[in-house]
A = this chain, B = another copy of it.
């Protein structure tokens, strides 16, 4: 059987766009002699659709789209993901379903059995899990069709009490098809490939995997759709972060030698993959919202520099405006470094001094501040004044402001709410400072785009004389390790000390992270590139008092 794997970028709620794209995919697949075209999980409405799934109108539109797509399935079959109403009188009102379309009609509907409800996933909010699973028979082949998480219950201590693929395998299977909406994380690709490969090995049949591609706000889907032979070797693979249609002859799968997933691939390609993911995420945020131009504050530091490079790559250099906003404590090299960067990239830039404005604020506050010493209040006035200028330009000319905070800062609250924490999208909010340096190295791999001085000077917010980040924070080398273990690996204070970290440093860091939830609550959406990003995938109560 000849099968087309369609790795496409959908737009949540945009039924017209998604339906047209799927129908074009079916037509192209038929033109290329495919028997079956396979599209991603919930491709009809986009994933994740959130609480739109609670609207009757939204679900009605899904069914209408399925009917329209089915109408075009003549001389070819298709597998398309969409919600399906629960016909049982008990349980949640919907299922997460895969529709098998043939001869202009819905032939069979497969319902997802394992519903992820951790990290960024909350499928149990909307869907009832299926407990019965049937094989799809098509052109004499027995296909085990499953949806994403359905294949993820392989290991010891499984998260679910049932195993849909195990049940299907008992019924006799020629090959497996899995449709997915599995987001990128730099350390997740290898795990995903390995898990898919292990399924092929366990059930001794080939597996075709179709993931969606493109970003939906903070979630970046990398695609990575592939074919795996019955020995667990990857025989075909679509390029990540781009759309494509891959043709597979299932009868030839047995003869194809495949590559076993490499356990080191994630680490080897970490920086490159994060860079590509961020470009994809930024591009889709603007594209899907209908914006084309970005603005950001350029400090001469490494965070704004890396952000600007990614934005220029995603939107075109001419569409990214850098604004230098020197204040009383800005060093001369900051302005020069920022200007050099804009010139190297070919991005427009402006300079606006904030000094007379911050003086105005301070003068007007004098009757109340009197002779109290300069402190965080005056520091924040500078950061917030910059935000007022950036947002004024954004409002006047239709730029979207990019936030340039990194994950280390976001973790310990080293940033000014309504100041440098402003922006429509946080580009680096899931990248630790030490990894921001690595991104800069990657960007400069062929030539000096980010000025070397920006990379080698000690990080500073320049909000008071001779300030350095290291005045108030541990060195990033150590800090980032503690943060990674606490945030990504959920290690508690005792475990961290047992790992060899200094107890005082651990307590101080965990306290900072926990007491800054109120700040992170108000940050922009953060492009997610790790397995635990701040935002929708990490839910912490603001008023808690724990390790704080």
Q: Which residues of A pack against B, CB within 8 Å?
A: 11-14, 17, 46, 48-52, 54-58, 88-92, 117-118, 122, 124-125, 128, 156-161, 215-217, 284-285, 288-289, 350, 352-353, 356-357, 360-361, 364-365, 368-369, 372, 375-378, 380-381, 384-385, 387-389, 391-393, 395-396, 417-418, 422, 424, 490, 492-495, 518, 521-525, 536, 538-548
Complex interface: chain B residues within 8 A of A380 (CB): 391-392, 395
B375 and A544 within 8 A (CB): no
Complex interface: chain B residues within 8 A of A384 (CB): 384, 387-388, 391, 418
B14 and A546 within 8 A (CB): yes
The complex places the Cα of A493 from the Cα of B61 at a distance, in Å, of: 12
The complex places the Cα of A217 from the Cα of B539 at a distance, in Å, of: 13
CB contact between A50 and one of B378, B492, B540 (< 8 Å): that residue: B540
CB contact between A364 and one of B54, B284, B356, B522 (< 8 Å): that residue: B356
B357 and A545 within 8 A (CB): no
The complex places the Cα of A422 from the Cα of B380 at a distance, in Å, of: 14
Complex interface: chain B residues within 8 A of A215 (CB): 543
B361 and A388 within 8 A (CB): yes
Complex interface: chain B residues within 8 A of A377 (CB): 392-393, 395-396
A535 to chain B, nearest CB (A): 9
Residue of B at shortest CB range from A287?
B543
A541 and B395 within 8 A (CB): no
Complex interface: chain B residues within 8 A of A393 (CB): 365, 368, 377
Complex interface: chain B residues within 8 A of A540 (CB): 50-52
The complex places the Cα of A183 from the Cα of B11 at a distance, in Å, of: 35
B159 and A92 within 8 A (CB): yes
The complex places the Cα of A180 from the Cα of B523 at a distance, in Å, of: 32
A161 and B118 within 8 A (CB): no
A11 and B117 within 8 A (CB): no
The complex places the Cα of A161 from the Cα of B88 at a distance, in Å, of: 10
Residue of B at shortest CB range from A88?
B161
Complex interface: chain B residues within 8 A of A361 (CB): 357, 388-389, 392
Contacts known (A12-B546, A424-B518); A50 close to B289, Cβ less than 8 A: no
Residue of B at shortest CB range from A372?
B396
A388 and B381 within 8 A (CB): yes
B369 and A391 within 8 A (CB): no
A89 and B157 within 8 A (CB): yes
